[in-house]
Amino acid sequence: MEVSCVKDGRAIHRRVLDYAHRDTDALYRDFHITEWGYRDEQVEESRARYGRNILSGRAADTVLFRLRRAFINPFAIILFVLASISFVTDVLLASNFSRNMTTVVIILCMLLISGVVRFTQEMRAKRVADHLTRMIESHIMVRRNGEWMRISSTELVVGDSVRLFAGDRVPADLRLTAASDLFVSQSVITGESAILEKNAGVLSERKARSYGEYSNVAFMGSSIIGGTGEGVVLAVGQDTVYGGCSGTMASFKNGFDQGAGSIAWVLIRFMAILIPIVFVACGLTKGNWLSAFLFALSVAVGLTPELLPMVINACLAKGSAAMGKKQTVVKNINAMQGFGSMDILCVDKTGTLTGDRLLLEYYMDVLGNESQKTLEFAYLNSIYHTGVRNHLDAAILACQEMPGHNARFQELAASHPKLDELPFDYERKFASVLVQGGEENLLIIKGGLDEVCRRCSHFEYKGKRSAMGADRVASVHAIVDEMLEDGMKVLAVAYKPLERQQLSAEEERDFILLGYLAFFDAPKRTAADAVRKLQELHVGIRVLTGDQKSVAVSICRRLGIGTAETLTGEELEQLSDDEAPIRIERATVFAELSPKQKVQILRTLQGNGHTVGFLGDGMNDLPAIVESDVGISVDTAADAVKEGADVILLKKDLNVLEEGIKEGRNAFANVSKYIKITASSNFGNILSIVVASVFLPFFPMASVQLLLLNLLYDMLCLVLPWDHVDQEICARPLEWSGRTLGRFMRFFGPISSVFDILTFSYLFFVLCPSVCGGTFAALAGSEEQFRFIALFQTGWFLESMWTQVLILHLLRTQKMPLFQSKPSCPVMLVTMLGILFFTILTFTPVGRLIGLTALPPAYFGFLVVAVSLYLLLVTLAKSWYLKKYHKLL
């Protein structure tokens, strides 16, 4: 693949570069594109030659990838190493008489079982994710077989002819062949908020220095802000600028990965200390360094919750599936963890706290009297504005349906054809449209009150024009402030005669203020109740809006959102680096913001230690949605916005978010149960092994037994996603990190070691000598010594399993287990059957194959007493732990 780098190492494919400098005739000729578009056979040929339009992240998520991940992981690799070494020592190097494949076969069976279970679980999670993703897949207009059709953007091939509309996300790198007032945001590639106008001309031979200078190319990932266009696909998938650099450009939701990394490092530190100690102790006391190495490897596996990825996937996938039933599509299942951790939710006001449909209540002149001319000029601006449609334009255009107005508005549009436009952007905060107006052309602007007024030098009242004074903005507010305080949204309309037929930004000054439009934006009936529920879940609501401060404050007061601390975009710009984190932390309402300022607020809140979600549906919300820890949008949003979100609400209701937060916390709590309980229990076992390795003349448990114990216990834990979670645990946001994991392991792990050592003593000094007829040393060289070892290892195998499974019930809740907090039926059933299965296993031929043997009834009497004492001690320790640290998981 030939590429050329423009800057920052981000490459533009050679095809795109070549055809940017050539006319469209050459493009159509070289790619054999006719007016019919591509035929089906051309599509297949192009896909085979140039590849599919899938980015690396999606391409990797295949059945083959999941199969490879199920069988190639640290746990599987260690099992394979043990099997290989066992094969060499027990088969290749052994004499014909002593060859034994048993250990090799058992380890390979464990490898197969763990891989199949993980693969099955991952495929189940993948089916859930794929089903939900298909519901919100982005589509594009493409010409094939002589007609325009909508297809999934992933089906595009090089040579396809596509159409672009406002709100679309550019699906591939395109050479534009037609453009009408086409304005594009390339912020996803460049990080800059500038809006660029694109055309279909030929690029000059002068080498472009930035992406913005490629005026006839639309890059994948860019957003169409206004206008329409057509183009030919020249690069797809990894060949695009966005695809080739997505690993470095994308704003990753890395809270999940950081938390997982934090947990991994805690376990690695414990292993780095304990594993060498086990290896050296076993090597010195047993004299067999190869066996010591194998045992140390098994201990490394024993300390690690091997099936952690599978348990996490199971918990998150269950949460995602539950959300799917509640009209919520979770595109990225890691977002379920974000829901669980989220302690601040930022929302855009319109359509979230207020209704989707605005009503135009008043159209007024500069003194507040009804003005038909203001409405008509606003109508011309809205009907010709090709940017992303919004609620305000929809409310204005709905006026043509008023009785007796339809014919007038049709006549108005016919007599004032459009000449040019500059679409709305969030820096200027207004839209400009140039129309023919009889003897002179008219430049009409409609937008934010203050922004439009600052561009005006005159005002018009009853057909007469007068100069505006220096206090023009204050004069305007004297007329409209009462409406703003009532929660109404007010826009200004202005115009100026213009001789030119093309529009430039320099013309946007010296306007004549014509009047105002006032819209009623009523709060949703369910909004106040939803805000209260979120606050009860300790999720702080922050309102981030582009509306006027007084409008935002009025709405928030009605909904019970605090308004004592507010910030406007202008005030935000004045804050120093030291002041900004403090003021942003305190404020609850942010008004008159640009998209860039919304991102600034999110980053500051994240820097203050918060997990931040953002709910929005407009193109102005896209940067904030991408930047947030959990980006949330709605099904009616533009494709570009839905593409950037992690979660799509099929019903725009904050009550759905409350359910999402609860499901996220449930999934999060069940993952935390598995990690903390398993890691602390394993840590206790390893401590016991360290002690036993020093004092025992044999290994306290065979490598294959230790691995089997760990594997089967982890498989029992796969039922945890279906466990009940106490309301107290889900009442607050949960922290996803290893910060408290080490403390939990150090506190509860050694308690199990005390009873392990008690079991060792009972087995070594009491049970085994009485059954075998002598001490270990006295039985040297006899068959009974092997029976002594088998009895000892079986005894500890069962004690470890009983304590590990039962401690799951004790530490899964802060309350009294079984009485104050009952586990779910699946958890109770599976764990009890697990204990029964493991106990019966020791009496079967399968158990004998791995060195286990039947134990006498006296042992089970000891086991019941020892386990009961252990559970009692852990209950007391849990009470003390809760008093000191105030939370368990």
Q: Convert the pLDDT of each residue in 373-389 to its tens digit.
A: 999 999 999 998 877 66
Highest mean pLDDT (candidates 237-246, 403-412, 632-641): 403-412
pLDDT band at 100 (very low <50, low <70, confident <90, very high): low
pLDDT at 680 over 50: yes
pLDDT for position 510? 92
Q: State the angle between helix axes of 654-695 and 703-716 in degrees (0 to 180), rounded to the nearest 10.
A: 160
CB burial of 187-196 (b: ≥16 within 10 Å; e: otherwise) equals bbbbeebebb
Q: How far apart are the first and last CA of the chain?
A: 51
Quick one: what percent of the chain has pLDDT higher than 70? 84
pLDDT for position 766? 92
Distance CA 225, CA 428 (A): 14
Kindly report the average pLDDT of the chain as a whole number. Answer: 81
β-strand pairing of 612-615 with 344-347: parallel
pLDDT for position 39? 92
Closest among 304, 285, 234 to 77, alpha carbons compared: 304
pLDDT band at 82 (very low <50, low <70, confident <90, very high): low
pLDDT average, residue stretch 264-279: 74
Element housing 620 (H / E): none
Listed range (112-116, 400-404, 496-500, 594-598) with the worst mean pLDDT: 112-116
Q: State the angle between helix axes of 595-607 and 579-586 in degrees (0 to 180), rounded to the nearest 10.
A: 90
Residue carrying structure tokens 């409350």: 658
Please state whether the predicted TM-score (pTM) of the whole model is above 0.85: no
Does 11 or 743 have the greater pLDDT score?
A: 743
Residue 348 annotated among the catalytic residues of the structure: yes
pLDDT at 80 over 50: yes
pLDDT at 284 over 50: yes
> Catalytic: which of 239, 343, 348, 547?
348
pLDDT band at 775 (very low <50, low <70, confident <90, very high): confident
Highest mean pLDDT (candidates 137-146, 489-498, 537-546, 608-617): 489-498
DSSP-based three-state secondary structure for 388: coil
- The pair of structure tokens assigned to 17 is 């570069």
β-strand pairing of 430-435 with 441-448: antiparallel
Task: Measure Cα distances from 799 to 532, 830, 835, 839 in Å.
Answer: 49, 18, 10, 10
Listed range (148-162, 212-226, 242-256) with the worst mean pLDDT: 242-256
Highest mean pLDDT (candidates 145-159, 284-298, 302-316): 145-159
Closest among 793, 709, 798 to 110, alpha carbons compared: 709
Residue 672: strand pairing partners: none
Q: What is the pLDDT of residues 628-675, one digit of tens each?
A: 888 888 777 766 677 778 888 877 677 778 887 888 888 878 888 888
pLDDT band at 473 (very low <50, low <70, confident <90, very high): confident
pLDDT for position 78? 62
Which runs of E-coded beta strand occur in 397-552? 418-422, 430-435, 441-448, 456-461, 464-467, 488-498, 511-520, 540-544
Q: State the angle between helix axes of 74-87 and 703-716 in degrees (0 to 180), rounded to the nearest 10.
A: 150
Whether 416 and 467 have beta carbons less than 8 Å apart is answered as no
DSSP state of 527: H
Quick one: what percent of the chain has pLDDT higher than 90? 21
Q: What is the pLDDT of residues 720-751, one digit of tens each?
A: 778 888 888 778 887 766 677 778 888 888 89
pLDDT average, residue stretch 100-107: 70
